[in-house]
Structure 1
Amino acid sequence: MGSLQKTAACLLFLSIFSSASHGQLATFICSDVKTEYNKTATISCISSKKITNVFVKRCENCNKQTSCLESVINTWAGKNSSEEGRIRLVLQHNVSEVHIQEVKATDEGGYKWHLHSEAGERDGCTTLEITAPETEPNLTRNGTKLTCLSPLGHRQREIHWFDGHGTNLTGSASLVSEEAEGGLTSLTSTLHEKSNLTASEYCCTVLYDVHTKRNKTKCLSAHKAVADYLHFTSTTDPESPKTMKEHVATILVLLFLVLCSFAAVLYYKYRQRDERAQENVLNQEV
């Protein structure tokens, strides 16, 4: 009887240990996601067994627990979507997917999840990265004021100024940041040309990633800037490129007429000399 009790106790212990081990060996795979701005992002997690409950919380940073704010998905509370369905859960057997439609810059960051399956449960955090549009900067000049506009992009991007020799002029510029659509920002940097700050060329560089140095640059020649400004206004400057062409054409015509007159004079003199020579020959013959 004692041996039977020992055997039953061993079987019960093995059963409990097996169940605990089975729960600890539950596997979940969740990967980071990178999506373009205004597209649909899908954060997916795969389990070795059927997933029964999902809890997802928004965090600014996965490494900072205090940065986690609101829960977007909580099946225990019957919350399978949020923001009027823009963020929703698609749960199919062992695959859990959180779809975020028309992603905004404010959606970027960490998503802390707690998954519960038939094989156990686990916590984790994935990162969603949003790639904002990288448009070329708009560089204009009005007198001594140069303006560089980067209409849409992340808050982290920067605007730098350089002259034609690569000298950094950013310290002499002023920057204004304005909120744009979808959590993006609009940056406007203004550089005023001073007596000690003159160059033949000015370049505006929008730096999108500090680590990879990914950027877009646009340059403007000081001389070309003046020509463009005159071209796009209604002023009739006599020294504009079009008037100069007319002056050149007039000079060429006058030069041609002078040459023709000179040739006519030479021809007339040559003709007179020839006629006099013929008259002398006739007189000698007589």
Structure 2
Amino acid sequence: MLISLFRNRDMASVNLLFFVLMLSSVRVGRSAESLFKLKCQPAVGVIGQTTHISCSIEFLTKSKHVIINTVALTRSGEKNSCFAFQPFENVRIGDSRFEVENEPSLQLHNTKTSDEGEYRYFIRTNLGQDQVQFTMNVTAKYSSPIITSVQKEIVNDGHADLYCSASGGYPAGTIHWFDQSNTNWTKSATLQSTQGNDGLFTLSSKLSFQKIDSLWAPFRCVVLNNRYEEEGGATSTLEIKDDPGNSPSASSTVNNSIAGVVVIGSLIVGLLIVLLFKRRRNQRE
């Protein structure tokens, strides 16, 4: 009995594989006898999560009872189906992350960057057969950005380099810089985007100043995704110190020194004038 069951299951798998191979070699169009139309919405998935592919059936007849006996999903540009399923025999081939959810909708578990692209979805029912194309886009949110500086101390009116970095995002995004008055400094920055082996991107932006002004602080960096939507931001806590040579105490010391020289010079000049008058008086006497 068990042997017979296994044989029937293997035969169903062989039949499904044979049918998928036929789909791969022959383009399947809508049958003239088809009494419905298959529709699928573009899918947007998050990397590492489950993506829902919403599909529906639009009936072209009064009959609203449909029985799906075969589904097949094929990536654009590929010959072999990446997933196929026969509900009655509970037989499936291809990527095990795909499954039918609320027929004819699908879902994809543990979404990856490689899943992005166009797909052709075929179903065969008791009312005929149809296929439709849909696109799948995948995204991943960047981590909260961090602002750093290689310099141990940033001096007002001196050279400064600020860095902002964020990782783990997809697709590639960008970083913008703003000062405390919300002025955009991005044109003065350079952006580097690196894609890792997992397909995710790391963004690193460097903002350089020949002469930085403490009145511009604090600076803020904002991470934007590929649709220019803000995903996160960070505000700089780096302190911009005044140049000791331009500090009030130094200026006061310089001013006091100048004042002392002026006073001493005045006394010397006054003394010379007194001595000159005395000398002239003595000469007259």
TM-score range, shorter chain: 0.5 to 0.7
Following TM superposition, by how much is the alpha carbon of 1:89 offset from its aligned partner in structure 2, in angstroms?
4.0
Q: How does 1:106-185 map to 2 (within 5 A)?
A: 106-143=114-151, 144-180=160-196, 182-185=198-201
Q: How does 1:260-271 map to 2 (within 5 A)?
A: none
Structure 1's 104 and 136: CA in aligned 2 closer, same or farther, altered over 3 A? same
Q: Provide the aligned C-alpha RMSD in A.
A: 3.5
Q: What secondary structure is seen at the aligned counterpart in 1 of 2:236?
A: strand
Following TM superposition, by how much is the alpha carbon of 1:200 offset from its aligned partner in structure 2, in angstroms?
2.0
Q: State the match for 1:246 in structure 2.
A: none
Q: Equivalents in 2 of 1:139, 1:186: separation in Å?
A: 14
33, 53, 61: which one pairs with 2:70? 53
Q: Is the 8 A contact 1:55 1:74 kept in 2?
A: yes
User: Greater helix percent: which structure?
Assistant: 1
Q: Is the 8 A contact 2:141 2:231 kept in 1?
A: no
Q: Equivalents in 1 of 2:171, 2:44: separation in Å?
A: 17
Q: Is the 8 A contact 1:40 1:103 kept in 2?
A: yes
Q: Is the 8 A contact 1:80 1:89 kept in 2?
A: no
Q: What secondary structure is seen at the aligned counterpart in 2 of 1:183?
A: coil
Following TM superposition, by how much is the alpha carbon of 1:46 offset from its aligned partner in structure 2, in angstroms?
5.0
Q: What is the letter of the counterpart of residue 53 of structure 1? A: T
* Aligned residues between the structures: 192
Q: Is the 8 A contact 2:222 2:230 kept in 1?
A: no
Q: State the match for 2:221 in structure 1.
A: 204
Q: What is the letter of the counterpart of residue 113 of structure 2? A: A
Gapped regions of structure 2 (runs ≥ 5): 1-29, 58-64, 152-159, 242-285
Q: Equivalents in 2 of 1:69, 1:26: separation in Å?
A: 26
Following TM superposition, by how much is the alpha carbon of 1:181 offset from its aligned partner in structure 2, in angstroms?
5.4
Q: Equivalents in 2 of 1:103, 1:172: separation in Å?
A: 37
Q: What is the letter of the counterpart of residue 39 of structure 1? A: Q
Q: What secondary structure is seen at the aligned counterpart in 2 of 1:80?
A: strand
Structure 1's 210 and 90: CA in aligned 2 closer, same or farther, altered over 3 A? closer
184, 193, 197: which one pairs with 2:209? 193
Q: What is the letter of the counterpart of residue 36 of structure 1? A: V
Q: Is the 8 A contact 2:142 2:167 kept in 1?
A: no
Q: Equivalents in 2 of 1:27, 1:146: separation in Å?
A: 57
Q: Equivalents in 2 of 1:179, 1:37: separation in Å?
A: 15
- Rg comparison, structure with higher value: 1
Following TM superposition, by how much is the alpha carbon of 1:220 offset from its aligned partner in structure 2, in angstroms?
0.9
CA deviations 1:178-216 (Å, max 9, x no partner) are 2235421111111222227773222111012536x3332
Structure 1's 196 and 138: CA in aligned 2 closer, same or farther, altered over 3 A? closer
Higher mean C-alpha displacement, 119-128 vs 145-154: 119-128
Gapped regions of structure 1 (runs ≥ 5): 1-19, 60-67, 227-286
Q: State the match for 2:263 in structure 1.
A: none
